Amino acid sequence: MESFNYTLHDLLCLSEFRKVIPATGMDDICKAITEWAEQEVLSGNDSGTLLILASLNLDKTPDEDEVRRYFDRYRAETGLSYPAQNFSALIWLKIQISKLTHASNAQSAVIYLSFFATTWLDYSPRFFAKTCGYLNWLYYNLMDDYGDLYPSLASEMTSDEILAYIKKHLIPFEKKLSNDDWLNFLSEE
């Protein structure tokens, strides 16, 4: 799978969203937080709390409670607060769609997309729920195979065509979720 560079704001949103819906396909959030902290320390941030958080990255699987404790401590030290839950949901969705549209191969894109086929997310704001439903439809429309009588679209496509098909259908969503004005508007609906 491709790596994703998270900002502090992204991590705050993901942490907040995970409080609401724990099964978000974001099981690597602890590792993402410790990797972010490590990069911050290497960039010259000399916060003691951040140094402890970065040191947790030495573990193959960082302890979730410790990561959460030190991340919360760092957040409090810097005076940051968690974003609103609706806004956090949209940031989570933005990241998932970005992973899909920037996947380097069809296999990775289909794996990311399959999460929406196995997990039904009906959460506010309305744009979030409708987009998750659309991603569910996109997966089944592309991959659902009923044998010789009703083959899936993907069975008749090359890997490059599958990847292009997914990207073509998701670019409008990515554009909206990458625009701050749209994000603010959509989080209020």
Residue-wise pLDDT for 37-84, tens only, equals 999 999 999 999 999 999 998 988 888 899 999 999 999 999 999 999
Domain boundary (20, 48, 78) is at 78
Q: Is 2 domain-assigned?
A: no
Element (H or E) spanning 78, and its range?
A: helix 64-78
Residue type, 8: L
Asked if 84 contacts 186 with a C-beta cutoff of 8 angstroms, the reply is no
Mean pLDDT of 24-32: 73
178 shares a domain with 106: yes
Decide: residue 28, CB within 10 A, 0-12 exposed, 13-18 middle, 19+ buried.
middle
178 shares a domain with 149: yes
- Residue 155 tokens, joined: 């069975």
Element (H or E) spanning 38, and its range?
A: helix 29-42
Global pTM reads: 0.88
Measure the CA–CA gap between 134 and 97, rounded to whole angstroms. Answer: 12
60 shares a domain with 143: no
* CB within 8 Å of 97: residues ≥ 6 apart: 131, 170, 173, 174, 177
69 shares a domain with 42: yes
Domain of residue 38 covers 8-78
Q: Is 3 domain-assigned?
A: no
- Residue 39 tokens, joined: 């990069």
Residue-wise pLDDT for 153-181, tens only, equals 888 899 999 999 999 999 999 999 999 99
* CB within 8 Å of 54: residues ≥ 6 apart: 34, 37, 38, 40, 41
Asked if 189 contacts 127 with a C-beta cutoff of 8 angstroms, the reply is yes
181 shares a domain with 109: yes
Q: Does residue 33 or residue 28 have the better pLDDT?
A: 33
30 shares a domain with 110: no
Interior/surface letters 133-148, b for 16+ CB within 10 angstroms, e for the rest: eebbebbeebbeeeee
